[in-house]
Structures are given as C-alpha cells and as structure tokens.
Structure 1
C-alpha cells in the first residue's frame, strides 16, 4: 500500500509507550495470526515489549462479546486486525474503552471515526491480505526484511498470492529450498514446505481455536526465522493436532463426491459434514480450487449451522450473497454472514437453514 494510506497506523504505533496496556484482537485464521505477530514485533521494537494481550474473539462472530469487552476494560490501546467489526461498534470501543486502530482488508459498512487502514477505502475491489498490509507498515520501522516470512504464511492461507507476487519473489532469496518452482497460489499452498508450515499454523480448523491461536502466536514470536519454527514447543503441539485434523479432512474429501447435492443449472454444490474440527472452510477451499466456476457451500451442523462458501472465479460476490440469503427473522436470533467476493461464511440457528439455502439458490 502507499505510505500515505498507512500513515494512520504508523502514527498510532509511534504513540504507544511502555506504560500503555495494549490488546490485539485478530481474526481466527492464519492471516489474522500473522498480522498480530507482525504488529506485536513492531511494538516490541518501539517500546521494548510486545502487546499485553493477543487473542481472537471469544465467539466466532463478527462482533465482540461481553467476555471480550471485559478483557478490554483495563486496556488503553486496542488494535483490531483482519476482523471487520461494524463502524458503530468500533466507535463505541474507542469512546468507552481504549484508543482503537483498525487494520483490515474486508468490505466495510462505512469508514469509522478511528485510525483506519484498509485498501478497499481507495479501491473497493482491492484484495490484499492483512498480513501484507501489516508488513508494509513494518517497512516504516525497518522491519520488513525480518518479518517478510511471517507475512507470507498469512498471505498463502488467505489466497492472496496473486496480489503479492513481489513478496514471494523476495522470499525466494532466503527460502528457495522451501518454495515451489512456480510461485502460484496452488503450488505455494499444497506443494512446498513453506506452505506446510502455513497450513499447520492456520488455527481456523482446530477445536479450541483460542488455545491454538495463542500457541501459533507464541511459536512465531519466538522464531527469528522460518527455520527455527520446528524447534518451538508451541509449534510441535499444534502439529500433533494438525495430523489428527488431516485425517478427518481426508475422510470428508472422500465423502464429498458421494454425499454432495448438486444444482447443475445454478452451478452450486451443497455438502454437509460432521466433524469435531472446524473444517468447512478447508473443504470448500479444496474443492473450489478444482472447479473454480462452481460455488461450493460446505455446511456443518451443531448447536448452530455454520456455512463456508467458495467460488474461485469470483463470478458472484459471495460476501453479499451470504448476507442477502439470511432470512430476515434469523438476524434477530444472532445470524451473521460476510466475507469476500470469492470466500465467505455464515452462521445461523438450525431452523433457518433451509430458508437460507432456498434464498441463496434463488439469488444466484
């Protein structure tokens, strides 16, 4: 991003001192984790210590719970990374808790009256993962070379390689043996050692995401280099569960062809799975990469319905579709939806799912 667009974040970080109580709240995926580590390492350089609290929201929802707000009560600085809270909520946090900074790349309802960095403010169609934006911020503090490897991990899992080609070309200088011959999204995600590290640390599928988010953060904060990761006890703890999760993922992939529901006219596929892991997004991403023009919706039933949607070609705007498909009455019961053009999600009470499904197909 242009340095002028990054200025709100640069100035905000410069004004944090050692007496501030700093909280980072980030999205429950690898892009969010990478972003939190990059910003915390900037703070470590500027004030001698990292953020005081780094966490994902207590619930997988695009708002903060009472538990989150309780954690923020003694904080003087609050950084929201890769997590698209509504402008009203951001301004409320800024007024009633600590000073807020937002670094994000999702669609937003309006620009909040707080320090705000988002490439979509200048270009609604821009797609730059938050970890790359945070790396651009780090370049203002002389840390770009030290933190580039962390940003790359987030960019891969957020399917942002095509918008960050220079990042991976630079990474080749130090990590050629860890990267594929072709620096393309699919190759980086699936066919190289670097992508494997990114997959292991992507805490989104794990049962206790908050616990594993902290482990991933610890592993990255303790490493000065990609080659140090596997020496970290926190990384090894994540890797053990990653292997277990991969077994469930492989079973779901095997069941996909047999159990999916296909609407050939609309070019949309619905697939329901049962798992103790949050693997809907992983399955949807995997399948959509094979058939980029098709829309894949992967559904997981529990106390509530969770849906992950993917369409790699971007022929529809999934973020808007998922929001529009939610039944109006479901919103009063806490239903939520959102995301990007090519990747989005939704959650709702089970009684609203069939209507959501019908609405979605009607809207395509």
Structure 2
C-alpha cells in the first residue's frame, strides 16, 4: 500500500502509539460487517500496543452515522479521553464530535464521502481520499484499519477479519491479489461470488445477526474479538439468526417482479419486513441488477428507511438520496456512490419519494 500523505499517517502513528494503560479509550463502530470488523481490528491494535483492552465499545443504530447526544453523554460519564470511530461518516453533522474534543482526543477512520474535514489539533481525520488513490467505496474501513494498524504493530493474524469486512462491504475490486494470498494462506477455495467463501459466510452471519436485532451487534463484536480464526465465527452463536433472515430475504426476492415498481432503469421496492432486511436485500438486488438504480424501502417503520444501490455508478446513489432529503425536517442520507441509505419521517415520505423520482429521471436524460 502506497501512502501519499505522510504527515497524516504520522499523526495516526502518534495518536495510536501514545495511548497508555491509564487512558480511557472508547471505540464506536458501524453495525454492518465492515463496521464490526474494523472496530475489532482497531480495538486489538490498542490492546496489543498498551497491553490492555479498550474501556468502552459502542454502536448506535445502523441508520445513525453521526454522534448522538446519548453517545456524547455516555462518553462524558465514562470519563473517556481517547475516542476512536470506525466506518461512520460522523463528519456529516459534527456538532457533538466537536463537543467531544473538549474532553477527548479523537481518531476517525472512515471510507465514506468527506462532508467536513474535521482535522484539528484534537482530531485525526482519516479517509482514503486524504492519503491514497483508491476509490473510497472500494477501500473498506476494516482494510484501512488493518493497513494502518500494521504500520505500528504486527497484526498479520487479523488479515481474515479485514477480508471479511471487505467482502461484506463489496469492496474487493482493488484487492484481488491481496485476497488471493489470504485464501491461499488459509487453504480456502475462492469462488467468483465471494459471499460463498468462508470469509463471505462470516460476513453474512454478522449481517444476519444485525438484521435480526441491532442488539446482536455487541454479540458479533465479542465473537469476532475472541475468535482465533474464521472457523470460530462460523460455529458461533451468530449462526442462530441466519435461517430466519435468509427466509425473509428469499420471500421478498420471489415477490420482486409482482410487488416492486419498475421504471426503465429504476427498481423501487416497498416492503414491510419483520426483521431489518432492507439493506442486505438491496445489496443482493444491486449485484443482480448492476445497471439499475435499486431502492428497497422499509415502510413499516417511522422513520421510513431507504437503502439504495447502483453498481455501475451511472447514478450516484448517495447524491440522489441527499438531494431528495434536502430541507426535509429530520431526514438524513449518506453513503457511497454505489450504495447509500436514507431515513425520512413518515409524514414526509411521499414528498421524498416524488423528489427522488424527479431527480432520477432528470439524471437519466
């Protein structure tokens, strides 16, 4: 890996190596496979450097990427003075992150769009755009944490975790040679569909656990933290949730042609799931229909959750969702050009939907 911003890399090294056993360290991570894997990797880097585990692990709801007042108050009450974020575009609304700077040093490692460069004396702000030429959407945060952590301590035994996070985020295109080495190292068969591999199966288990109940994210973190290899993950309690999630996803896939709205290159699918399956469903459909703008919308909850995909990037999904949400009270959107999400209060959903279709049709011309 070629790092072009040496000053930023040196700031990371200084931050992570200066953490002492006396420091109060918190790690917050996103809830998807990349978020969980990146959180585990950076937490293990901290433990190996200072000889002590992190003091606090946090996750918010999967649709929440910015720091909430609840998280802010928790950090303050736990007397946290070192705060690490992974796979969260918290710079989209940095209000509480700036307040955290008053009592903690901050390290943010993320691969989403840069909304605000939060680099300051108190914050080390790391995104791929700032230190390499790799497409941020294809550089999973788990891989970032693995590459950065490897600069200060040996974490070569955690390569499988970085692979799981990368596969889970469909962020493998630039890393074919690296992945091939890992599959060879563990004597594993590599399939064209990486989700059929052992690492891909681990990613599915993490995703299924989260889809079943967001409270399972802590369980997923703990399982991965204790795991010596992918084998421990595959035989863990995480497998208990997969069948129910798979069954629900397959039900919606079978009903797609009859219940989704198709308009040229747009597939718009409103569902009422029992579990939180809109995101994995949209990922599956996005891969199946790479030249379509795919939206899976959970209309059973308030706020309404929208998950969008566009594999060929002819439409930037994050921009389309952000524009559709603009000016709508308490609506938010974010993510990558190929995959993004949004939440909209139910009373404004019709307005959002009309806007989104107008935006997509305008971009089509």
Equivalent in the alignment of 1:56 = 59
* 1:285 and 2:283 correspond: yes
Provide the aligned C-alpha RMSD in A.
1.9
1:148 to 150, 159, 162: 159
Structure 1 segments, 4+ long, off by >6 Å, are none
Distance 1:307 1:204 in 2: 20
Q: Is there any run of 5+ residues in structure 2 with no aligned partner, and where?
A: 361-365
- CA distance in 2 between partners of 1:176 and 1:93 (Å): 48
Please state how far the C-alpha of 1:42 moved relative to its aligned partner.
Answer: 0.7
What corresponds to 1:315 in structure 2?
A: 314
* 1:168 correspondence with 2:172: no
Matches of 1:315 and 1:229, distance apart in 2: 37
Q: Show CA shifts across 1:221-253 (max 9, x none).
A: 11122233345xxx31x2111221111111111
Cα separation, partners in 2 of 1:91 and 1:193, compared to 1, 3 Å: closer
Q: Give 2:350's aligned residue.
A: 354
Number of the residue aligned with 1:116:
125
Counterpart contact for 1:29–1:202, Cα < 8 Å: yes
Q: 1:225 to 1:121 in 2, by over 3 A?
A: same
Matched residue count: 348
Worse overlay, 57-66 or 194-203: 57-66
Q: TM-score, normalised by structure 1?
A: 0.90
Q: Distance in 2 between matches of 1:222 and 1:125?
A: 31
Q: CA deviation at 1:198?
A: 1.5
Say if 1:29 and 1:204, in contact at 8 Å, map to a contact too: no
Contact 1:245 1:277 in 2 (8 A): yes
Residues 113 and 335 in structure 2, CA contact (< 8 A), matched pair in contact too: yes
Residues 116-135 of structure 1 aligned to structure 2 (within 5 Å): 116-122=125-131, 125-127=135-137, 128-135=139-146
* 1:62/1:181 CA distance change after superposition, 3 Å: closer
1:13 — aligned with what? 16
In structure 1, the gaps of 5 or more residues are none
Which range moves more in the overlay, 282-291 or 154-163?
282-291
Change (3 A) 1:258 1:351: same
* 1:71 correspondence with 2:82: no
Name the counterpart of 2:108. 102
Give the secondary structure class of the aligned counterpart of 2:94.
helix
Aligned counterparts of 1:251 and 1:219: Cα–Cα separation in 2 = 29
Contact 1:152 1:167 in 2 (8 A): no
- Residue equivalent to 2:169: 158
- 2:363 corresponds in structure 1 to none
TM-score (norm 2): 0.90
Which residue does the alignment assign to 2:50? 47
1:3-45 per-position Cα deviation (integer Å, ceiling 9, x unaligned): 4253322221101110111111111111010001111111111
